[in-house]
Amino acid sequence: MTDIALSPFVTMIESEDGMVFLHKRTGRYWQLNGTGSEVLRLLLSGESLESAASRLREKYPDAKDHTISDVQELVRQLHTARLITR
């Protein structure tokens, strides 16, 4: 399990192509594509980084060599942008 949550200062909406975030303190908007949104949904529901990466490997077998690093990088970027808390 993971303890990832949206920052209390972030509003998120689902879009046709993924998710859009507004950081209410900075006024900045961010967008995630469908795959990034899928991973974030899994993490917000309590799944571990490894479990989210495993699901990506199932869906995209050609990307199996770097799915865990991709998930870790997504979390790092979302955390750096202050969109999520850990």
Residue 1 pLDDT: 58
- What is the pLDDT, as a whole number, of residue 2? 67
pLDDT for 65: 79
Q: How far apart are CA 3 and CA 31, in angstroms?
A: 22
Query: What total number of domains does the chain contain?
Result: 1
Whole-number CA gyration radius for the chain = 13
Q: Which is higher by pLDDT, 65 or 15?
A: 15
Q: Looking up tokens 């998710």, which residue turns up?
A: 19
Taking only the tens place, the pLDDT of each residue in 9-54 is 999 999 999 999 999 999 999 999 999 999 999 999 999 999 999 9
Q: Which residues contact 53 (CB under 8 A, 6 or more apart)?
A: 67, 68, 70, 71
Q: Give the domain range for residue 54.
A: 5-85
